[in-house]
Amino acid sequence: MLRKVRSSWAGNKVNDWANYLPPARPSRSEVAIVDRYVDRLRRTRKSLRVAILGSTVEFRSLCHRRGADVTVIEFSREHYRILSRQPMKHRGQETLREEDWRKMKTDRKYDLILGDLVLNVVARRDIAHVLRNIGRSLVRDGVCLLRTWVRRNDRRHDLRTIVTQHRRRTPRTHFYTACMLPLHMCDYDFRRDSADYAAMTRRLFQAHRAGMVNQAEYQYCHDRWQLEGSAFTIPRRSVLERLKRRFFSIAAVHYGEDCYRRWAPIYVLRGKRQM
């Protein structure tokens, strides 16, 4: 039985989503990787059936550009409606399935399934349920692309070091984009395998009071983190890949061109067997 956990998307986050920057949403270079696969598959199929897990407008736009048959699988019809107000260069007809990915029906099959952080916004124990349902929803030669935040180990990071490296290496990159992922590891709950946004906010506020980060840097992170729920997982990469190999073969792993790229691989998965 799946226990109820307050989703990362609970509350008012959906209404603030337009203010989010990468890596919370896919960057231009990451979208380009996904677009290459959509284009390649579209050229080899008479009709390309794509399922997008969540209402990610970047993926929806590029799929419409390529003339794909698009289905959005979103746990909230209201979230889909709100997120659809965001600018999309290319629009088209879509089918909406209002379903929880952990329990979604698998009778409909797709050539391609796309997901952005779908394995991060659920609790650790639910990742296998989502992967199994994805695998069962692919056609025999189907492909799944998942951009997923991962960590390499359980090492605690130091905030001062993170900020110092940012000032030296990526001073022209937005603080959130450059520092967001390592900042999680300053206060990550490794036992529960979950982010602790309250602790992260307190630590960053202390850094702001000490003059380490400025008001704008602190405020931007604070305004995003206060909207997070209790379930947000950044799984260890080795553990995640071992779990993925239960249901798929990992055909390729790609990275964008961004400073955080090692934290955010894009996995190309092919169905391994009927589960």
**CATH code for the domain in which residue 68 is found:** 3.40.50.150
Is pLDDT of 148 > 80?
A: yes
Q: How many independent structural domains does the chain possess?
A: 2
- Mean pLDDT, rounded, for 149-171: 98
Q: Which long-range contacts (CB under 8 A, 24 or more apart) does 181-186 make?
A: 181/23, 181/149, 181/234, 181/260, 181/263, 181/264, 182/157, 182/263, 183/157, 183/159, 183/221, 184/151, 184/234, 185/151, 185/155, 185/156, 185/157, 186/156, 186/157, 186/158, 186/159, 186/162
Domain-located, residue 1? no
Tell the residue number behind the tokens 């969540």, with chain if given.
54
Same domain, 135 and 198: no
pLDDT over 70, % of the chain: 95
Same domain, 135 and 257: yes
Same domain, 188 and 93: no
Identity of the amino acid at 217: E
Same domain, 102 and 21: yes
**What's residue 94's pLDDT?**
98
Same domain, 121 and 245: yes
Nearest to 225 by CA among 207, 204, 209: 204
SS (H, E, C) 91-121: CCCEEEEECCCCCCCCCCCEEEEEEECCCCC
- Dump pLDDT digits (tens) for 243-272: 999 999 999 999 999 999 999 999 999 987
Q: CB neighbours of 101 closer than 8 A, spacing ≥ 6?
A: 53, 73, 75, 118, 122, 129, 130, 133, 134
Domain-located, residue 31? yes
How crowded is the C-beta side of 99, counted as CA atoms within 13 Å? 19
98 burial level (CB within 10 Å; 0-12, 13-18, 19+): middle
Same domain, 240 and 199: no
Same domain, 136 and 262: yes
The pTM of this model reads 0.94
**What's residue 273's pLDDT?**
59
Domain-located, residue 6? no
Same domain, 180 and 136: no
Confidence of residue 275 (pLDDT cuts 50, 70, 90): very low
Is pLDDT of 3 > 50?
A: no
Confidence of residue 2 (pLDDT cuts 50, 70, 90): very low
Same domain, 40 and 118: yes
Same domain, 49 and 132: yes
Domain-located, residue 138? yes
Domain-located, residue 122? yes
Confidence of residue 4 (pLDDT cuts 50, 70, 90): very low
Is pLDDT of 7 > 60?
A: no
Is pLDDT of 194 > 70?
A: yes
**What's residue 139's pLDDT?**
96
Residue 11 Rama label (left phi>0; alpha psi -120 to 50; beta): left
Domain-located, residue 60? yes
Confidence of residue 10 (pLDDT cuts 50, 70, 90): low
Averaged pLDDT score across all residues of the chain? 94
Cα–Cα separations (whole angstroms), residue 143 to 42, 72, 124, 269: 12, 16, 23, 6
Same domain, 169 and 77: no
Confidence of residue 231 (pLDDT cuts 50, 70, 90): confident
Domain-located, residue 194? yes
Domain-located, residue 259? yes
**What's residue 70's pLDDT?**
98
pLDDT, greater one: 2 or 124: 124
pLDDT over 90, % of the chain: 92
Give just the sign of the alpha carbon dihedral 109, 76, 90, 93. Answer: positive
pLDDT, greater one: 272 or 45: 45
Q: Can you give the residue range of the structural domain that contains 190? A: 159-225
Same domain, 146 and 188: no
Is pLDDT of 118 > 80?
A: yes
Among 3-17, 91-105, 139-153, whose mean pLDDT is lowest?
Answer: 3-17
